[in-house]
Each structure stands twice: as C-alpha cells, then as structure tokens.
Chain A
Amino acid sequence: MKTLLKYREIWLVVAILALAIGVSVRSPGFIQPRSLANIFNDTSILIMLALGQMVVILTRSIDLSMAANLALCGMCVALLNVAFPGIPVPLLLLAAAALGTALGAINGALVWKLDIPPIVVTLGTLTIYRGMIYVIAGGAWVNAHQMTEAFKAVPRTELFGITLLSWFAIAVVAVFFVLMTRTPLGRSFYATGINPTAATYAGINVGRTRFIAFCVAGMVSGLAGYLWIARYAVAYVDVAGGFELNIIAACVIGGISIAGGIGTVAGAVLGALFLGVVNNALPVIGISPFWQMAISGTAILLAVIFNSRGERRRGRIILKKAEVL
C-alpha cells in the first residue's frame, strides 16, 4: 500500500512538472523562480484548506462548509478591523482562527453528539454561515479603503523572497506533516477512517476524533479567512463562493480517498498545486479562463479513476466475486 501511495504522488509530481514544462515551451517566463513563487502564493490558501479538508475526509466525513466558514471569519475580522483599527493584526489572526474553530466545532458536535451524517450537517451550516455574513454586515461590503494598512499588509509582506502568505502555507504544511505522521492524534484520524470498528476496539473514540477533525478544518478555514480578506482587500457575502468544491477537488486529485483512511499531506499539497498550476497556466498559453472549470472537472474525473485502481483492496477476494456479478 505504501509503495502504491508513493507511486501516486510521484505521478502527480510528474504531471505537474510536465504541465509546467509544456507551458514554458509556449512561454519561457512560466518556470522562472519569480513566476513559480507567484503560483505558490496564489495556491497557498487552497493548500491550507485542502489539508484541513483532508483530515475530515480521512475520518469518513466531509466538510462542505469550509468556504462559508472562511468567508464568515474573514468578514468578522474585517468588521473588527474597521470598528477598532487599534487591534493588532496578530490578535485578529487569533480571533479568526478561534472563530473558525468554534464554527467547525458546531459541525463536529452535530456529527458527534447527534449522529447526523456530516454531509447533511455541513450542507445546513454552509447556508447558515453564508447567511450570517449578510446578517452581521447588513449586506454591506467592507472595502480596501476602510481597512487599516497593517491589516492588508500581512499577506503581501515579503520575507526571504516569498510572501508571508506563502510562509503561512509552508508553516501549515509543516504542522500538518508532523500532526499526521508523528502524533497519536494524526494516526487516530487514519484509524477512524480505515476501520471505525477496529479503531473503537483499539481505544479510539471515533466520534471525538471526527469532532477534532472538524475543529481542525474550522481553524484552518478561519485562518484562511483572514488571509483571503486581507489579500484581496475586500469582504462581501459571496467571498470564496463555491470554493468548497475546489478544496474537495484538490483532495481528490491528491489521492485522498473519499471513503476515508487513505491520503497523505504531500498528496493534498500536490493536488492543490496541480489546480494552481492549471489556473495560472491558462492565461499564459492564451486559453480563455472560461476553460478553467471544465479542465478541473476533467482532472477530478481522471484522478478518481486513477485513484480507484490503487484503492482496490486485496484482502477481500471473497467479496470480489460478489462485486463482479
């Protein structure tokens, strides 16, 4: 299994490289370090969110409310910034992460305590969170001139040649890598997803593990909420509308099994990068950005067909016969 996983990620790297080199034939500037840093910067938020979603999907759940959570947290900190320009940005960042965690905890609690299927819970909270943005902002926009300079500056500040936004993504990737491979909690996410019954017997509280997964996804969404609003310097109801699907797409392309228990940090990052490279490549080679959606759709379909081969389990030969029928 492990070699198979590696195999898949190597293929993703090859696909991304081939894409980048293919594009650079048409436009040599595409693989300049400066341009690559830009692509990474553009993809940073998607990478973080994909990692949060990955944890949730690993536990056999799904979080459709991440983009709405992001937009709500973003709007809240933007309003805070307008009302109290004195609050330092790190504090706002903490506030966004805390609020995001709280919203994620609502999802998690409904899944854990009431046993409502995650897709129903997050379908509901998706519309509720989105609607709350309208309620707290009164339908108004928060525009760039209302925000303080410090608020807008954080994601753009450059450190060692790349932006702070990119550094955030790198930090999040590092944290997730340690969490997933070096901590009992990370392993329990996998255990919960691959076999909840066995996990229960092994002493893992499956419900609580799911709850924590939703909190993690919520925290990432909150953090990304501040970064998104600060980067684009505008907050309105439809911020990141439909982005939840891009997040899931990144996970699927990255080889994270929707059935739970299978997936790696590297996979999620590469899945997000793949989408990022595609999106950045289109204008460069003169294809209308309107192609973007169809291309990412095709990429999802190809990825899931490709993934399903690796996921066929060998230990189930008895049931295999039944499946053939």
Chain B
Amino acid sequence: MSSLTDAPEAPVTHRKIPDRLDNPLRSALLSWETLLLLVAVVIFIVNSFASPYFLNAWSLSDLTFNFTEKALIALAMALLIIAGEIDLSVASIIALASTLMGLAVQSGADTPTLLAIGIGTGLVCGAFNGALVTGLKLPSIVVTIGTMSLFRGLSFIILGDGVFKGYPKDFGFFGQGYVFWVISFELALFLVAALIYWFVLHRTNFGRRIFAIGNNETAARFSGVRVARVKFVLFCLTGLMSGIAAVLLTSRLGSTRPAIAQGWELEAITMVVLGGVSILGGAGSIVGVVIAAFIMGLVTFGLGLLNVPGIVMSIFIGLLLIVVIALPIVYRMARK
C-alpha cells in the first residue's frame, strides 16, 4: 500500500473541465497489480480458513474451470478496451459458434471439423464487428449491442428451445481433459495465451500502437499508425478468443442451448476493468487482467464452497468491481 503514496499527484487545476474524464487509475497504476495480488492473497487465505475443502490440489484445479473460458476472452478484450473500443457481443459469439458446432455434429462432423467451425465462426463474427466499426466508423458499443442481439438471435432461430447433444467422445478433451496431473487443458491454454498476449501488448510494436491509439487516436494517426487496421485486427482477435471459448465451453458442457454463456460479456469486462485497464482506453496490463481473473475465480469458488448461491456471488463481484476502482480515488481525495 505504501507505494500508493508515492504515486504522482494529479496536477491541481483551478477549474475542472470534464471533457475527457481524468483517468483515476493511471496514478495508481504502478501499484495496481500489487494491490490486486494482495486482494487475491487475502481472498485465498480467507477461503482456506472458511472451508476445509479448499486447500487441496484438485479443488484448486476445479477452481480454474470457473474462469478460464471467460479469462481467455478477457485477454483479447483488454487489448480492445485499451485501444478505446469495446465488444459486448462476445457471449453471443459463443452461442452462435456453439450452435453451429452442434449443427455440424448432427450431420456427423468429426472433432477437427468442429474445432474449425467453432474457431472460424468466432473469427468471422469478430471480423463482422470490426468491419462495421472501422469500415463504417460506427461506435463499437452500439454496433456490438446490435450484433449481440443478432448473433444470439441467429442461434435462437436455429435451435428454438431445443438442444444439441451427441458431441464426439474425443471432443470432450478440450473442456474436461488434463495435460499434466491437475493442470487442465483449459488452464494450460489460458496460461500460454496470457503469455502470448503479454508479449504482444508489452513487447511488440503492435502493442505500442494499441496504447497509442487508446491515448490519442488522432495523434496516433498522424504518427503513421493505421488505426482502422489495428482496431480491425483487435476485433478479429476478440472474436477468435470467443470462438476458442465456445469450443472449450461446449466441450465441457457436452451440449448447446441458445442461452449458453448468458451474461459472460459483463463478466469478461469486469475482469478487464478489475485488472486495471482503463475503460476510457490507453492504459492497462495483461498481468493485472490475469490476476483479476484469478480473483474472480477465487471469489466465486470460495463462495460456492460455502453454498452461497450464484446470484449472491454476483453482488460480491459487483461490489468488488466498484470498491476496487473507488478505493484509490477515495484515498486520493482523503489525502487532499
């Protein structure tokens, strides 16, 4: 916490002109991951005292299934939000991808085909969002509210109130298999993906361009960044990750209904924001998002062990989101 005090003070101005809101996270960003890690450790300790079933390799392994699929989407969503855009349609992309996979199963598709369909659908949906936002210069929040309705709507048209089952046996590996001892395929995939996203965002030119766009799009454009192209790629990536999440989730559940993954877009965004990514764009880190994903998993799993119903957990998630963001701000105000 002490490093919080070292954070640079926001310049004091005489009048406040809230045209572009001052990003309250930036000043605390240096210590944001530390703060999150602290929260994670506290929740971990509380959990292990609260339930005797918690501190066990298999319990902890089960815990990761709670969030890995959403966290995979959150990785790509973080990049998108840093670039100043948002995608609310991710959960609907899962629904559509899962439905199309189910449709393919009915005509006897094998596992590689299913993979291609699931991931391909995600990519196409993402590209569709990206084309609308960058090609027609539309606000992404409205476009993706529209495609959110459209994608899940298509899945309702295909499925109605029915259900697709009968996925091939070896398809179950992606959502239920283990790579090594208690490390599930999902967890391994998430860790590898997190490493790749970390490298791309923090160690490549492409990553720098994302930050540049989020901080000042016009300046980025004048510096020679092809803004539209970068954004389009980010929408495709988000779609792609949603497609991968659809494969994992469908494989884990073994069935598809049109209401699959309902509300996941909000959870993925919560992870991103909790992870210290500014919703206004231009700031954030993958490490923060990964820790935030673990925090969300820990909270829901810990409460689950205590038989707290899912809907009550959502109160904690909502409170966590607001309190963690409000804390540094209140702290700064109190110091003044």
Contacts and interface: CB of A to CB of B under 8 A. Distances in A.
Nearest to A299: B146
B226 to A, nearest CB: 9
A115 B222 CA distance: 30
Contacts of A292: 153
Interface stretch (A5-13, A119-127, A145-153): A119-127
B149 A134 contact: no
B146 A301 contact: yes
B18 interface: yes
A127 B146 contact: no
Given A121-B322, A290-B156, A322-B218, A132 B146 contact: no
Q: What is the interface of chain A mostly: helix, strand, loop, or mixed?
A: helix
A78 to B, nearest CB: 17
B322 A116 contact: yes
Interface string A33-52: 00000000000000000000
Contacts of B279: 117, 119-120
Contact of B137 (A249, A252, A290, A323): A323
Contacts of B145: 245, 248-249, 252, 300
Nearest to B273: A120
B153 A295 contact: yes
Contacts of A308: 136-138
A304 interface: yes
B318 A128 contact: yes
A128 B321 CA distance: 10
Interface in A125-171: 125-128, 130-135, 139
A128 B319 contact: yes
Interface in B15-63: 15-19, 21-22, 24
B18 A301 contact: no
Contacts of A100: none
A200 B280 CA distance: 21
Given A200-B18, A300-B149, A127 B315 contact: yes
Contacts of A134: 309, 311-312
B321 A123 contact: yes
Contacts of A288: 157, 160
A197 B318 CA distance: 31
B325 interface: yes
A127 B137 contact: no
Contact of A291 (B153, B269, B326): B153
A259 interface: yes
A130 B146 contact: no
A124 B311 contact: no
Contacts of A319: 218
A322 B315 contact: no
A116 B148 CA distance: 25
A123 B142 CA distance: 16
Among B141, B145, B221, B262, the one with the most A-chain Cβ atoms within 10 Å of its Cβ is B145
A297 B147 contact: yes
Interface in B282-336: 309, 311-315, 317-319, 321-322, 325-326, 329-330
A126 B266 contact: yes
A186 interface: no
Nearest to B141: A258
Contacts of A117: 21, 279-280
Nearest to A302: B146
A310 to B, nearest CB: 13
Interface string A249-276: 1001000001100000000000000000
Contacts of B270: 123-124
Contacts of A110: 322, 326
A295 B269 CA distance: 26
Q: Identify whether the interface residues of B are mostly helix, strand, loop, or mixed.
A: helix
Nearest to A323: B137
Interface in B125-143: 132, 136-139, 141-143
Nearest to A246: B149
Contact of A200 (B17, B153, B321, B330): B17
A114 interface: yes
Contact of A294 (B142, B150, B314): B150
Contacts of B314: 127-128, 130-131
Given A121-B322, A290-B156, A293-B156, A131 B19 contact: no
B152 interface: yes
B109 interface: no
A304 B143 contact: yes
Contacts of A295: 153
B211 interface: no
Contacts of A127: 266, 314-315, 317-318
Given A110-B326, A297-B147, A305-B136, A131 B18 contact: no
Contacts of B157: 288, 290-291, 294
A13 B269 CA distance: 36
B311 A130 contact: yes
B189 interface: no
Q: Which of A62, A125, A296, A300 has the most CB of B within 10 A?
A: A300
B136, B157, B160, B221 interface centre (most CB from chain A within 10 Å): B157
Given A120-B273, A120-B279, A123-B321, A294 B154 contact: yes
A120 B318 contact: no
A199 B280 CA distance: 21
Interface of B: 15-19, 21-22, 24, 132, 136-139, 141-143, 145-154, 156-157, 159-161, 218, 221-222, 262, 266, 269-270, 273, 279-280, 309, 311-315, 317-319, 321-322, 325-326, 329-330
11 contacts: A114-B329, A126-B318, A127-B266, A128-B314, A131-B315, A139-B309, A249-B145, A295-B153, A297-B148, A297-B150, A304-B143
